[in-house]
Amino acid sequence: MAQKLNNKKIAILVTDGFEQVEFTQPKQAFEAEGAQTFVISPQSDRVQGWNHFDKADYFSVDIPLDEANVTDYDALLLPGGVANPDQLRTEAKAVQFVKSFFEAGKPVAAICHGPWTLIEADVVKSRKVTSWPSLKTDLSNAGAHWVDQAVVEDNGLVTSRNPDDIPAFNEKAIALFAK
């Protein structure tokens, strides 16, 4: 059986404080469908995940953000966790990296608090999105139409609310990334 993401290269933008399952489960699902995944970060060597409020595992960074080029990737994953997107949205290079995927018409998937970085990149206006509930006001103020659904796809952007939504998130992201 053919893998849906064969020969696709997926960038995963994270820094310390990402929700570990929102990184590991999509990464594994994408790889199971034949994709190559690349951990990209402002950190140069490793990043640390979190299990909600507790520190979790370390993961190697494949490409420092300073060396990453959007043209090398077919899609982007933005895991959540509170600290991760809050730090990324203050990094001009991270915000520009995210914005460049939209400018190039490449698909993006963001879960939980991940859409905070999308707000900073100014790419949610007029889009239907979902997220962790505490981002509803932020997303609405940025011009998005926020809904409380497990997964939403709108014009090349897939969003989800939380770890419970990961199966639906993965399925929708794989379908979008395969196009």
Which residues are part of the catalytic machinery? Answer: 112-113
Closest listed residue to residue 130, CA positions, set 108, 161, 156: 161
How far apart (Å, rounded) are the C-alpha atoms in residues 122 and 95? 9
Among residues 11, 26, 125, the alpha carbon closest in space to that of 70 is found at 11
Extract the runs of DSSP E, i.e. beta strands, from the chain.
9-13, 18-19, 36-41, 46-51, 54-60, 63-64, 75-78, 108-111, 128-129, 145-146, 151-154, 157-160
Q: In this structure, what is the dihedral angle of CA atoms 81, 85, 86, 91, given to the nearest 10 degrees?
A: 150
Helix (H, G, I), strand (E, B) or coil at 7: coil
